[in-house]
Amino acid sequence: MTLRSDLGNAWEAHRHEDPVAVNPLGITALLLVAFAAFAWLAVRKLRIVACLQPEVRWDHPGARLRSVLVNGLLQQRMIRGEWKPGIMHTVIFLGFVSLLLRKLQLLAIGYNETFAVTGVAGGLFAAFKDLVEVAVLLAVGYGLYRRLVLRPRRLEPNREGLLVLFLITAIMLTDFAFDGCRFAILSGTDAGIAHERAFAPVGGAVASLFQPLSATALAAGYQLSYWLQMLTVLSFLVLLPVGEHFHIVTALPALFFRRGGPANVVPGVDVERLMSDDADATAIKVGVRTAADLGWKDGFDAFTCTECGRCKDACPTFLTGKPLSMKWVNDSLKHHLLDNRGAIVAGGKAAEELPALVPGVIGEDTLWSCTTCGYCEASCPIELEHLPRFFRMRQHRVMMDGEFPHELKAVFHGYEVQGNPWGLPADTRGDWARGLDVPVVQSAQEVAALDYLFYVGSAESFDPRGQKIAKAFASILLAAGVRFAILGPGEPSTGECVRRAGNEMLFQELAKKLVETLNGLGVTRIVTCDPHAFNSLKNEYPAFGGHWQVMHHSQLIAQLLREGRIQVEQQLERVMLHDPCYLGRHNGEFDAPRAVIAALVKDPPLEFPLNRQKAMCCGAGGGRMWMEENVGTRINVLRTEQALAIAPQVIATACPYCAVMIGDGLKTLGKEDAVITQDIAELVAARARRRPADRASTRGQAP
């Protein structure tokens, strides 16, 4: 008789003597306890989510399912963001998904210990299972190395993260140990288990290692490895709804219910209803005051946050020492929701008496530090959302509480009285164009003859730095023979910065005036140098009746260069582009300004370490242009330091606010004479080959 047969017979005898062997009663009890605990803990959280404000999040199901497939199952955003930890997480995730079949097999073994998958499928599964478990162990090893040795800044000390990595390791190792004992004991007497052993490279090797052990030792190892593994797996299940790893359950639903696309539109307020005579003052709600005012997806996101910290990598506030990151906000909201679960679930008067989120849960510095650059959302592997809830919190603070940074008071007043943040006389809005042969239109007939209306905006109409950009762009259009004009003193403001600063009522007043003006003149095509105006006109104004074709000046200049309507000298060297957030991340335009720069340089353009989708904000967005920066390092100075580390000769911009911020950064660092910073329009205008202006119609060529 062979050794395997002897062990098999010994095992049969030992089984009848040992009442603690794998048995249906034990596994059934364990399953019932684990799933009951998981359900109770999960429902406690999800009940909170269900009691928050309703939102429709199931339109366009095809696009939503695609996001689940691409960014959930295939982990595209995870890998694209940072490939090494991305692959690590993808291996662990796909490993867990694949090994669900193995856990079902183990459960079946709990009821029938000789259960085995036979045939070709069984052999392939045994081999695949072992290879996946080895890959998961390697990925876990890298994860531990990152947390304990590399310790990137975004990863804060996290005991739960380490615990989960060790639990995963335990699950993999106990599975190999269980296979080794099982194969050593039963493969000699059971053909199905022998078939598994023949195809399992790791389990088979472990079985060979265990083979010399006594029947008693193998039996003890068999039981211990099985029950340890099942206890670990089911303890992990119970742990999920307790902490951050609840995202293992909620991440795929979060991807299905995601907004889709950047947060380039601020949530509106029904101002007409708010101001109506029959409005009930006690029932009026503007924005978000308490947790009960949050949308259900806001709560779902707070509980789903993986705390991976990717939102910090290019966050201008986190990198400059301010008390804001999307992770921290989610963590604060999560704990607040749990602490106030009773009142939220009870609703009614209890919910009305919830404490205000600002400044108790979300500090004033946290709320107002945000530049609305959108990096946090763009970097989140599961597309969690941040900006809309901050916009709504700002709306409540400004419109209902009257509490906001004191610098904004003058800004709001300037817009109310003169339609610009400086409060300068509105009738001087077109003075920058004097002596430039720039036409000013006043009638629909004049507008009908244009290729584009040049929407200048406040920054380029009143700020001396911005005026240089407007003049340069106008000279390019004149040289290219583009039929354009401005509105001059009749140009209303978009008001996009007051909207992002929470003053929705003032924004809608400005929007109404602008739409009436442009639609009254029959405007159809607009070009602007300001990415903030570009975003607002393109994405926000359709809700107010403004339906126009809107181009950014980088797009039009790139087209004119491509068509040969303007030609430039390739004179520049060591040029790098600072990506404007509201052109790049918020509207996906990264290539046009680079195409313009490529036409101007003699060598390959340089890039910031943080560029394109990962570009760091200059610090001016979200109304921050008008607020003092009193906490941490100045954002524009850090961004300028990032550029200087690459030793450029020119820092190119494509936004009037970026031009100011980068220019001030150079001055602060004493480098204003060593490095040039100019808008791409200024760079092109200064290097354009002069030719007689062709003012013939180009309407057929306009995009």
* Same domain as 429, residue 383: no
DSSP SS3 for 634: coil
* Same domain as 496, residue 348: no
Would residue 265 count as lying in a domain? no
Peptide bond into 359 cis (omega under 30): yes
* Same domain as 588, residue 517: no
Would residue 606 count as lying in a domain? yes
Percent of the chain whose predicted confidence (pLDDT) is above 70 = 94
Q: What is the pLDDT of residue 4?
A: 43
* Same domain as 76, residue 147: yes
* Same domain as 187, residue 140: yes
* Same domain as 44, residue 188: yes
Q: Is the pLDDT of residue 314 over 50?
A: yes
Q: Could you tell me which residue, 3 or 358, shows the higher pLDDT?
A: 358
Q: Measured between alpha carbons, how far is 340 from 362 in angstroms, rounded to an integer?
A: 15
Average pLDDT over residues 250-273: 92
Averaged confidence pLDDT in the chain: 91
Q: Measured between alpha carbons, how far is 333 from 363 in angstroms, rounded to an integer?
A: 12
Q: Is the pLDDT of residue 375 over 90?
A: yes
Question: Tokens standing for 250?
Answer: 């909620």
Q: Measured between alpha carbons, how far is 241 from 230 in angstroms, rounded to an integer?
A: 18
Would residue 315 count as lying in a domain? yes
Q: What is the pLDDT of residue 99?
A: 86
Sign of the alpha-carbon torsion through 154, 160, 166, 172: negative
Band (pLDDT 50/70/90 cuts) for residue 673 is very high
Q: What is the pLDDT of residue 690?
A: 60
Domains held by the chain: number: 4
Average pLDDT over residues 599-622: 96
Its pTM surpasses 0.85: yes
Which of 480, 410, 494 lies closest to 451, judged by CA?
Answer: 480
* Same domain as 613, residue 523: no
Would residue 696 count as lying in a domain? no
Would residue 262 count as lying in a domain? no
* Same domain as 210, residue 80: yes
Q: Is the pLDDT of residue 702 over 50?
A: no
Of 561, 579, 599, the last residue of a domain is: 561
- Tell me how many degrees the CA angle 149-152-156 measures, rounded to the nearest 5: 95
Q: Is the pLDDT of residue 691 over 60?
A: no
383 sits in the region (left: phi over 0; alpha: psi -120 to 50; else beta) called left
CATH label of the domain that carries residue 454 = 1.20.1050
Q: Is the pLDDT of residue 695 over 50?
A: no
* Same domain as 204, residue 353: no
Average pLDDT over residues 691-702: 43
Q: What is the pLDDT of residue 281?
A: 60
Would residue 692 count as lying in a domain? no
Q: What is the pLDDT of residue 199?
A: 92
Q: What is the pLDDT of residue 161?
A: 87
Alpha helices by DSSP H, 340-397: 341-346, 348-352, 364-369, 375-379, 387-396
Band (pLDDT 50/70/90 cuts) for residue 6 is very low
Distances (CA, A) of 326 to 17, 150, 315, 391: 58, 23, 9, 14
Of 544, 561, 578, the last residue of a domain is: 561
Average pLDDT over residues 126-141: 94
The CA R_g of the chain, rounded to the nearest whole Å, is 32
* Same domain as 65, residue 148: yes
- Tell me how many degrees the CA angle 417-506-352 measures, rounded to the nearest 5: 140
Q: What is the pLDDT of residue 369?
A: 96
Would residue 530 count as lying in a domain? yes
Q: What is the pLDDT of residue 331?
A: 94
Would residue 379 count as lying in a domain? yes
Which of 623, 628, 660, 668 lies closest to 322, judged by CA?
Answer: 628
Using the structure block, give the residue that is written with the tokens 């090893």.
Answer: 141
* Same domain as 295, residue 373: yes
Q: Are strands 549-552 and 525-528 parallel, antiparallel or unpaired?
A: parallel
Which of 302, 244, 263, 234 lies closest to 52, judged by CA?
Answer: 302
* Same domain as 206, residue 123: yes
- Which residues span the domain enclosing 174? 3-256
Average pLDDT over residues 194-198: 91
